[in-house]
């Protein structure tokens, strides 16, 4: 299948993810829309094109490991897992409910397909480095993908993990930075200026690629290139928009962790279903 045709299919799938993100957060009246929506295209490409996973055998030994280091954006991962067949789609609306398997951050053992528990920022990428090192020590073929937020890069543990990944030559690790420019308290440039994210990772010895995190053709090309890089871990810096796909949420700090009311929900669903996000 041509790249353009596959990209159109995945764009449609990303709209499904966006609908379920908004739907489950609205049902729960709690959760994180903004950072889930900004990562929707990235996560769609991973779960429906690149990850070696099998919902019929979620613990198969050679599966790729996916780590959502920005764990508060778990609605996007839950939506992807459900649409990929790991658990019933109807269960998505139990997000954050008492005794639900869909907690406010990913919890290992609660759902098939959740490799590690994340939530405290900076921890997930450390776990991803550990998983990649495990694969290296076992001489296993599986790969580790980790998605981080740009606000998360203010955590010192991220850079300790980055150093370790280089030291051990973990070219089976690909980190994707969801560079939407916003965090809970405001713009990243105001809270803790990052300057150049690509230059930072290069300084730590990583190979770096950059892409438009909402251009599916660019995502497919860039992830394909990342898989060909050897000798070092890879960081893909994805330029994104927080709340992408819902006009009144886009690039708005207020929608970091806020649920839409009935009127807002109706507008969001209409926009998501009305065309490309």
Query: Per residue in 253-269, pLDDT tens?
Result: 999 999 999 999 999 99
pTM recorded for the entire structure: 0.97
Q: Mark residue 226 as left, alpha or beta (left: phi above 0; alpha: psi -120 to 50; beta: remaining).
A: alpha
pLDDT(276) > 50: no
The domains of the chain are located at 3-274
pLDDT(275) > 70: no
Q: Which residues pair with 235 in a beta bridge?
A: 175, 208
> What's the pLDDT band for 277 if we cut at 50, 70, 90?
very low
- When pLDDT is averaged across residues 7-27 and rounded to a whole number, the result is 98
CA angle 75, 78, 83 (to 5 degrees): 125
Matching CATH number, 3-274, of 1.25.40.10, 2.60.40.790, 3.40.50.970, 3.40.190.10:
3.40.50.970
What digits encode the pLDDT tens for the residues 79-118?
A: 999 999 999 999 999 999 999 999 999 999 999 999 999 9
Report the distance separating Cα 119 and Cα 151, nearest Å.
13
pLDDT(165) > 80: yes
What Cα–Cα distance (Å) separates residue 160 from each residue in 45, 117, 201? 28, 19, 12
**Beta strands 173-179; 144-149: pairing state:** parallel
What digits encode the pLDDT tens for the residues 172-208?
A: 999 999 999 999 999 999 999 989 999 999 999 999 9
- When pLDDT is averaged across residues 231-238 and rounded to a whole number, the result is 98
């Amino acid at each position: 299948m041509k790249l353009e045709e596959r990209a159109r299919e995945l764009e449609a799938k990303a709209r499904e993810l966006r609908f379920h993100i908004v739907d489950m957060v609205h049902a729960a009246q709690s959760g994180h829309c903004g950072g889930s929506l900004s990562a929707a295209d990235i996560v769609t490409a991973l779960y429906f094109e690149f990850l070696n996973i099998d919902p019929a055998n979620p613990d198969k030994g050679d599966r790729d490991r996916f780590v959502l280091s920005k764990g508060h954006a778990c609605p996007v991962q839950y939506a992807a897992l459900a649409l990929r067949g790991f658990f019933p789609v109807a269960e998505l609306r139990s997000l954050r409910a008492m005794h639900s398997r869909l907690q406010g951050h990913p919890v290992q053992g609660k759902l098939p397909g959740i490799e590690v528990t994340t939530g405290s920022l900076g921890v997930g990428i450390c776990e991803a480095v550990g998983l990649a090192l495990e694969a290296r020590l076992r001489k296993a073929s599986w790969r580790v993908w980790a998605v981080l937020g740009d606000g998360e890069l203010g955590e010192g543990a991220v850079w300790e993990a980055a150093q370790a990944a280089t030291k051990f030559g973990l070219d089976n690790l690909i980190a994707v930075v969801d560079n939407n420019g916003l965090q809970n308290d405001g713009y990243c440039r105001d809270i803790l200026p990052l300057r150049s994210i690509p230059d930072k990772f290069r300084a730590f010895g990583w190979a770096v690629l950059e892409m438009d995190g909402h251009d599916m053709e660019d995502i497919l090309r860039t992830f394909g290139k990342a898989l060909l890089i050897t000798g070092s871990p890879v960081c893909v810096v994805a330029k994104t928009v927080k709340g992408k796909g819902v006009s009144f949420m886009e690039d708005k700090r207020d929608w970091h962790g806020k649920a839409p009311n009935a009127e807002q929900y109706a507008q969001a669903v209409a926009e998501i279903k009305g065309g490309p996000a």
